[in-house]
Each structure stands twice: as structure tokens, then as C-alpha cells.
Chain A
Amino acid sequence: METVFYSLQDFMLCTKTVTYVLMGLGLFGLLGYWLFLTGRDESIRKF
């Protein structure tokens, strides 16, 4: 589905909104992924 934009303002508002929402999800996703990655590490930090 292609969105029709009538002005640069419309385009920027839409794309930036979507990007910021994705960034928020990405930050939480990355945090969850880090917990998954380090879930079985020993408690003593070696690196």
C-alpha cells in the first residue's frame, strides 16, 4: 500500500513518526536481545 503525500511536511511527519516508533521498539528489542545473549553467562564478569 503506497501512501500519497501532498507536501514535504506530510512526508517528514509520517516517516519520522514511523522511524521514532521503530527506534523505541528497537531499543527495547535490543535490550531483550542482550538479556537473551548473556542469559547463561557466569555471574563473574570476565570480559
Chain B
Amino acid sequence: MNAQHPSTDNIHNKTTPAFSPGRLIRENKLTALLIAMGLFVTVIRFTQGLGGVSNLDDNYPWGIWISFDLLCGVALAAGGYTVTSAYYLFGLKDFHTAVRPAVTSAFLGYLFVVVALHFDVGRPLRLVYPVFVSQGTTSVLFEVGLCVFLYLTVLAVEWSISAFEWLGWKGIRTVIVRLTIPLTVMGVILSTMHQSSLGALYLIAPSKMHPLWYSPFIPVFFFISSMFAGMSMVVFEGSLAHKGLHDQMDEAHLRDADKITLGFGKACSIVMMGYLFIRIFAIAMDNNWNLLSTAYGKWLMLELLGFVALPSFLYAVGVREKKIGLIRFAAVVTVLGVVLNRFNVSLVAFNYNLPSAEKYFPHWMEIALSVFIVTLMVTAYRFICTFMPVLREHPDYKAH
């Protein structure tokens, strides 16, 4: 087996350093500082309550922990279902080397969404109640909670293949590999449901949301934008992995990286253009053209032209000219655009008619906690990619 995979074997043996917490802290001072700050805020949150660390009130019960950690986190973790469905269901075998990084980042994304929710809900120990104790089956939020719970389980099982290869547990790894197709189908179904339902949460507040962002089609907007958000995040993470984790990648991953970037670039470009059209149709359906000349209208134009139309065109030019750097730049703009959209829906357009004195601005500890969550996620991703076969094939196992 080793003789068949000389390059991957070398990489696998070369890049498994001994784990040393002291060395890790010395080499990652900024990470250690951010985690220490996050732990400090965590202590305050769980000793003084939400009021001690946040500016949330009755007008804004959902702040940036929902806007960024949950709405953006779930959208940007959509690479898991897009890549696995492309590879396993549609048979696009060129995406093989993108599957494990995408599943890993999706699993961590959802995992830390749930971690962040424990800070945001008033009684975190009751987070399991909607699923196991008191099912509110008429609530959209119940559907979101159930789907996220189930999809996180699906992602954990899909991701566990890497962990079991690392641990050398061949028997259970074989069982899970056989479950790949049903798991992928479940992942697509659950993602379709909860990505759109996150947008459907806002259907209950038509009078609170600005008409340019409120639409009966907002669940469709959320679902379609999650597709290009996930693929762009995979491209963005791939470019970061190329720089930061280059020594962890085997020949196949290095060789396929450009081809995968071109494939995702093409998919993102056409999906984003379709998304732009349906956003315009929503304006036409509600006859909101006159609102485009207001300040909110100009902000919407910035979102649609600067962070949807522009990156879509950049993707297209990058794909036509085979310019990988341009596609990676477009991926960054797209990710920022999705973040902007989620912030616009949940904060900017929400309660737009309140006087400015009553508007919400996050407490510094809310921002610190979101930074803490992202730092934990990046640290976990680096740990997994360093020790487990994510950016490389394990020499003892065939690709599935």
C-alpha cells in the first residue's frame, strides 16, 4: 500500500508532530490572547447574565450573536452539503479532494454555532428542550432547531471518517463509509429545510423590517445565497490552507486545487446572477422601486451591485481567463457580501423605524465573544488538519 502512495505516505509521516500545549501557546500568542479574552467574557456572561455582556433589549432580543455567529455561520458552513452533493450525488469526481475540507469546515461551523447559542439563550441548559421535551411543532424556530440538531449529527458522522482513520479504527470507519450516500441525501434535505427556514424566521415581522429586505420569498433568498456562500467559503478556506497548511497537503490536493477553484467559481457565478435576478423580481413584486432612491435603497444597491453582481462578474472573468487569484478575490467579496446581507436582514432592516436612540449597537463583549468563537473554530480546524487526513489521503485507506 505504501509503495502505491509514496508521496502521501511521506507527508503523512512527516507532518504528525508531537502534541505540546506549552509549545502551541508560545507559537500562537495572538490566538492564546483571544482565547483568554473569550474565557474572561464567558465567566462574566455566566455569572452576571446576558445584561452584563450585551446591549440586547426588548426591541433587539437578537444581536450580533444571532446575526454573525448563527446566520452567517450557518450560511458559510453550507459548503458541506454543496460539495458532498456535487461529489457523491451528481458524480462530479473532480471535486474529490474538496470533500473532506468542506465537511470538516461545515462540521466545525455548525458545532460552533451551537456553542455560540449556549451564550445567547437565557437558559442554556434548556437548549435541548425544543427537541426532547416540549416540541413547538407550529414554530419555524422549532424546525430550524431540529434540522440543525440533526444536520450537526449527520456532519459529525461524515467527518468522523477522518478521525477514525487517524485513530486507526478500521471497522467502524468501514461501516460509516457505507452510509455515505444516505448521509449525503439527509444532509441536502436538512440543509434545504433549515437554510431557508432561517430566512422564514423573519416572515413574522413584516411591520418591523424595511420593505426592501422584507419579502415573502426571503426563505428562497436565504437558501440560494447559502449555496454560493458555502462554495465561496470553500474557495476562501482553500486559499488560506494553501498558505497556512501547505505542508499538510499531498500532491493530489495541491494538483487539484486550481481545478476545484475554477469549478466552484463557475457554479458561484451563475448562481449569484440568478440570485441577483430574483432579488430584483422581489422589488418589482412589491413595487418598491421608489424606495431605491432613499438611503436604505442605496444601501441595498451597494449590497446587490457591490457584493453580488460584482463578484459574480469577477468569478466569470476569472473562469474565462483561468485567473485563480481573481476567483479567490471574488470568493472573499462574496463571503463579505453574505455577511452583509445577513446583518442587513437581522439588524439594519430590522426595527428600521425605531428612533436612532433606541437602535442596537453591540457591546464590546459581544464582539469579543464572536471573535472568541471564530478563534476557537480556526484553532480546531488547524488542529484537525495537522493531525488528521483532511488535506491529504491516508496511505492505508482507499478513496471512497
B270→A22 contact, CB < 8 A: no
Give the size of the chain B interface in residues (CB under 8 angstroms).
20
**C-alpha gap A46/B249 in the complex (Å):** 24
Set of chain B residues within 8 Å of A33, measured between Cβ atoms: 269-270, 273, 316
Set of chain B residues within 8 Å of A8, measured between Cβ atoms: none
A22→B281 contact, CB < 8 A: yes
**C-alpha gap A33/B269 in the complex (Å):** 9
Evaluate whether A1 and B290 lie within 8 angstroms (CB atoms) in the complex, with A37-B269, A37-B270, A40-B320 already known.
Answer: yes
A15→B286 contact, CB < 8 A: yes
Set of chain B residues within 8 Å of A16, measured between Cβ atoms: 285
Give the size of the chain A interface in residues (CB under 8 angstroms).
23
Instruction: Kindly state whether residue B359 has any CB partner on chain A within 8 Å.
Output: no
Set of chain B residues within 8 Å of A18, measured between Cβ atoms: 284, 287
Residues of A1-35 at the interface with B, using a CB-CB cut-off of 8 Å, are 1-3, 11, 14-16, 18-19, 22-23, 26, 29-30, 33-34
A11 → chain B, closest Cβ, in Å? 7
Instruction: Kindly state whether residue B280 has any CB partner on chain A within 8 Å.
Output: yes
Q: Give 11 A-B pairs besides A14-B287, A16-B285, A47-B263 with Cβ atoms closer than 8 angstroms.
A: A15-B286, A18-B287, A22-B277, A22-B280, A23-B277, A23-B281, A29-B273, A29-B277, A33-B270, A36-B320, A37-B269
Residues of chain B touching chain A, judged by Cβ–Cβ distance below 8 Å, are 92, 94, 263, 266, 269-270, 273-274, 277, 280-281, 284-287, 290, 316, 319-321
